[in-house]
Chain A
């Protein structure tokens, strides 16, 4: 709890008592309205029109202005320009206890985005949604509310609360941004939280939809649910969600960027289904779209996918070049989680080529990058790659420790394909160490996950042979390796 929360709670009773018979003053609506009109007539230049205004007054003026603009019923270039000017001329507001300045910037960005879309300015709308997403993730009480709402149990969300968040386009867009930012770090949690909200929006009559915004929100949610499903090992289901999003984007006025992103996501699902050759075949055309639409972050991810796929196809030498190239990109360096994943991938390649020193260097760089970041998936993967590196170097005890660390992390994240994969890695290492009993215990934890969740249909025979061999108290190491390789194809 912050100091200001303590203050809020402790002063509340005194405030209520002191104001029991008083009229608490607020800014005069008429005065604020006049200032809004003045700002509007002077091309909404708040930097000049706010001269002599207190911060509180300025926020009041901007609040009313943003409310006016958000309520425009149809596309308007004038509204778009006014919101853009208001955002550009907003002075720094500090201190900003409630994150009101962030909230206002977010709202103006939202208004510009929606009018760009409605006026057919696809490229600009893409740029503004990027800005909105960035602002929506910055701290404000409003952002905390959306986060709180997303994380609430479904029975804790009343119909009224759902209406407040899911029928309000700006809140819904913030929710989509939040989901996008979390789908690669806490997919299991999001896979539970997001579908009921999606269903609600899907079934709900949308009284205030601005052109095809409802379709846009649904497509965004479908993509995020698909990504979560893929992380959870259900790539077939992920493909269904991506298909839905793809169809929706195809109908939108500015759906090209969304469509390109979904095409890329579809390739990631194919990758998880071990359809590596198809990924390599289709990747150039998807990358061409990403470059044409200037979707640089997605393009960098696609290069990471290309590298990982080449590695899976045994073309390890070839997979190093794209990795080294994207790692030098400043944009990738800014996304520490993705950067760490790329470094870990590179370390894995070096290990496979026997360049253990280079791999160790990469891993220590990844450790540094992840030290202060909340990137649980990248951290778990780091432990896995460290285990591989140690195993190749013959340091089996430490390898087992690293694998176990990764397994615990994946279990905590609810990523069971990875839990099973890490268990088999532990088992293999334990067998090498001659600790057959412990190895059997590890296999026995992995097999039910693999069988119940039908994780690797192509590895079913290996799983059966393995189970049979364990019944005879003589673990079949070939079956174990084969099963582990099938799982590796689905993860990595």
Chain B
């Protein structure tokens, strides 16, 4: 079993049973597919992908337009954020390598490889 089968909210305090159920559904139907997409497409770790999707949701609260294909829009936001994340990770890896006088292997965390 993975962490994914555990309740999604650690430390959160949902107000009642119905909303917990609704948020669990939300987690399974929207959060996880987006995390897996970021892993598939951008080679991120699940943990990093989770952070990025969470950031995308925060952005989406003010900007999501129900009339303009919200899922496709979210996919694109996650793609943007993941690409940014990768670029930053790559730069960081390069700097660390320079600092230690070692060649940059192009690897970031847990086998994620930068383009």
Q: Measuring CB to CB, which residues of chain A are less than 8 angstroms from any residue of chain B? A: 1, 4-9, 11-16, 18-33, 54, 56-57, 59-60, 63-64, 66-67, 71, 97-98, 100, 103-104, 107, 141-142, 144-145, 148, 160-161, 163-164, 168, 207-208
B11 touches A28 (CB 8 A): no
A420 CA / B36 CA spacing, docked (Å): 52
Closest 9 pairs between A and B when the two form their complex, measured CB to CB: A26-B50, A27-B2, A98-B33, A22-B12, A25-B3, A63-B40, A29-B45, A63-B36, A27-B4
A-B contact pairs, 20 of them (CB 8 A): A1-B67, A5-B71, A6-B66, A8-B71, A9-B66, A9-B70, A12-B60, A18-B12, A22-B11, A25-B4, A25-B6, A29-B45, A32-B46, A57-B1, A57-B4, A63-B36, A71-B43, A100-B36, A163-B83, A207-B115
Known A21-B11, A29-B47: A208·B3 in contact at CB below 8 Å:
no
Does A141 contact B46, Cβ atoms closer than 8 Å? no
Q: Which residue of B lies closest to A55 (CB)?
A: B28
Q: Which single member of B1, B49, B71 contacts A141 (CB below 8 Å)?
A: B71
Contact A145 B66 (CB under 8 A): no
Q: Closest A residue to B113 by CB, please name it.
A: A71
The CA-CA distance from A38 to B69 in the complex, in Å, is: 38
| Besides A31-B3, A144-B71, 8 new A-B residue pairs in contact (Cβ under 8 A), listed by A number | A14-B23, A16-B61, A21-B11, A25-B3, A27-B46, A28-B46, A56-B32, A100-B36
Residues from chain B with a CB closer than 8 A to the CB of A33 are 110-111
Question: Which of A4, A26, A31, A97 gathers most chain B CB within 10 Å?
Answer: A26
A7 — which chain B residues lie within 8 A by C-beta?
25-26, 29
CB contacts (< 8 Å) of A28 on chain B: these are 2-3, 46
CB B40 to nearest CB in A, in angstroms, measures 4
- Which residues on A sit within 8 Å (CB–CB) of B5? 54, 56-57
Q: How far is B23's CA from A208's CA once the two chains are assembled, in angstroms? A: 40
B residues within 8 A CB of A148? 69, 72
- Which residues of chain B are within 8 angstroms of A142 by Cβ–Cβ distance? 37, 75
Query: Contact partner of A60 among B4, B8, B79, CB < 8 A?
Result: B4
Please give, as numbers and ranges, the residues of chain A lying within 8 Å of B13 by CB-CB distance.
18
CB–CB B36/A164 < 8 A: no
Interface residues on B, range: 35 or more
| Chain B 88-115 interface residues, beta-carbon cutoff 8 Å to A | 110-111, 113, 115
For A56, the chain B residues whose CB sits under 8 A away are 2, 4-5, 28, 32
CA separation between A98 and B12, bound complex, in Å? 26
Evaluate contact between A107 and B40: CB separation under 8 angstroms: yes
Tell me how many residue pairs across A and B have CB atoms closer than 8 Å: 172
B9, A19: Cβ atoms closer than 8 Å = yes
Please indicate the chain B residues that have their CB under 8 angstroms from the CB of A54 in the complex.
1, 4-5
**Is the CB–CB distance between A145 and B3 below 8 Å?**
no
Q: How far is the CA of A64 from the CA of B69 in the complex (A)?
A: 27
Q: CA of A100 to CA of B39 in the docked complex: distance in angstroms?
A: 12
* A100 pairs with B33, CB closer than 8 A: yes
With a cutoff of 8 Å between Cβ atoms, the chain A residues found around residue B66 in the complex are: 1, 5-6, 9
A59 to B11, CA, bound (A): 27
A19 touches B12 (CB 8 A): yes
State the CA gap A7–B26 with chains docked (Å): 8
Of all chain A residues, which has the CB nearest B79? Answer: A164
CA–CA, A23 and B6, complex, Å: 12
Give Cα distance in the complex from A104 to B49, angstroms.
Answer: 18
The docked-state distance in angstroms from the alpha carbon of A163 to that of B87 is: 13
Which A residue's beta carbon lies closest to that of B6?
A25
CA distance A97 to B79 in the complex (A): 19
Give the chain A neighbours of B85 by CB distance below 8 A: none
Distance to closest chain A CB from B20 (angstroms): 9
Q: For the complex, what is the distance from the CA of A32 to the CA of B43, rounded to whole Å? A: 13
Whether A14 and B35, one on each chain, are in contact in the complex, defined by CB atoms closer than 8 angstroms, is no
What is the minimal beta-carbon distance from B45 to any residue of chain A, in angstroms? 4
Bound: A142/B78 CA distance, A: 12
Chain A min CB distance to B13 (Å): 8
> Which residues, 42 to 80 on B, are CB-close (under 8 Å) to A?
43, 45-47, 49-50, 54, 57-58, 60-61, 64, 66-67, 69-72, 74-76, 79-80
- Nearest CB of chain B from residue A97's CB, rounded to whole Å: 5
Nearest CB of B to A29, in Å: 4
Looking at the assembled complex, report how far the CB atom of B50 sits from the nearest CB atom of chain A, in whole angstroms. Answer: 4
- Complex formed: what's the CA distance from A25 to B13 in Å? 15
B45 nearest CB neighbor, chain A only = A29
Contacts of A207 in B (CB 8 A): 115
Give Cα A103 to B41, complex, Å. 11
**Nearest CB in chain A: distance from B26 CB, A:** 5
**Chain B min CB distance to A16 (Å):** 5
Whether A98 contacts B46 by the Cβ 8 Å rule is no
Complex-state Cα separation, A13 to B27, whole angstroms: 13
Could you say which residues of chain A place their CB within 8 Å of the CB of B8?
A: 19, 24-25
- The CA of A7 and the CA of B29, in the complex, are separated in Å by 10
* B10 in contact with A22 (CB, 8 Å): yes
Considering only CB atoms, which chain B residue lies closest to A20 in the complex?
B12
Beta-carbon nearest neighbor of A35 in chain B: B2
B47 touches A26 (CB 8 A): yes
Instruction: Please name the residue on chain A nearest to B27 by beta carbon.
Output: A24
- The residue from A18, A57, A60, A63 contacting B23, defined by CB atoms under 8 A apart: A18
Can you name the residue of chain A whose Cβ is closest to the Cβ of B42?
A67
A9 to chain B, nearest CB (A): 5
Instruction: Please determine whether B46 and A60 come into contact, CB atoms closer than 8 angstroms.
Output: yes
Q: Are A29 and B57 in contact (CB under 8 A)?
A: no
